[in-house]
Amino acid sequence: MLKVISWNVNSVRARVDSVEHVLKTHQPDFLALQETKVTDDLFPYDQFPGYTCHISGQPSYNGVAWVCKNSCDVICRNLPGFEEQKRFIAIESNGWTLINVYVPNGGDAIGGDKYTYKLGWLEAFCDQISSYDTSKMLICGDFNIAPTDQDVYDPLKWNNCVLVSDEERAYWQKIKDIGLSDVFRTIHKDQPGFTWWDYRGFAYRRKHGLRIDHFLVSNDMIDRVEEITVDEETRRLDRPSDHAPVQVSLKL
């Protein structure tokens, strides 16, 4: 069994206790963190006994990490052409290519500079993924894309907003067209599966969420998935991240 968790922690240093709790509770083989918001030298390596951390970090913003129980090799710590923002780290283990991403948010306006940056990043991401062997691949992370209106608590309110635009959703499709399946939506046809709730306005309590944190696996590997769940308990802890961890179990 291979157990992988993906979690946008919104600062790994502010969430050390919660990360420990997640590791103890679920005992994953691999934990993918996004928005670690810390340089590599200040990463709390020593706080997660039994796990080795592979980092791609920067000051204040972004940052991704693989926290690994098993040994693995780091393949790539940057998306080519977008090295200034640390949003991509790929490793290999047991014949699997495991990719952890933090897709740019895209700002608050369709057509704005941050939105354009996001689309460019997604284009480069598709090229990078296509350059690997995609037959035994798992990609997880914060994609900042809600693939369909089912993944949005109030689609009318979110109409024409960043995270749900046609262009972003077209990139989601383009990623899947490389030969990957949306794990959550394949297993759970009806659940919303929200993974993010705004800190503001009691959004979690009111179930005002989005499904933007995803797992993709190679089409030929989808039958190996035992389960995928959103760990809302961790979202209910004191001082939570605004994202919940998502966990997948699959047969090796």
Within residues 87-116, the interface with DNA by CB under 7 A covers: 104-105, 107-108, 114
Binds DNA (CB under 7 A): choice among 2, 19, 33, 35: 35
Residues 184 and 103: their CA atoms lie apart, in Å, by 18
3-state SS assignment for residue 175: helix
Query: Shortest Cβ distance from residue 122 to DNA (Å)?
Result: 14
Within residues 190-249, the interface with DNA by CB under 7 A covers: 196, 198-201, 210, 212, 239, 242-243
Query: Shortest Cβ distance from residue 137 to DNA (Å)?
Result: 23
- Residue 14 interacts with DNA (CB under 7 A): yes or no: yes
User: Could you tell me which residues are beta bridge partners of residue 101?
Assistant: 88, 141
Query: Shortest Cβ distance from residue 199 to DNA (Å)?
Result: 4
| DSSP H or E stretch at residue 23 | helix 16-26
Distances (CA, A) of 15 to 12, 43, 111, 116, 161: 5, 12, 34, 31, 29
Within residues 52-81, the interface with DNA by CB under 7 A covers: 59-61
- Residue 8 interacts with DNA (CB under 7 A): yes or no: yes
Query: Shortest Cβ distance from residue 44 to DNA (Å)?
Result: 11
CB within 8 Å of 43: residues ≥ 6 apart: 12, 36, 53, 55, 57, 65
- Residue 160 interacts with DNA (CB under 7 A): yes or no: no
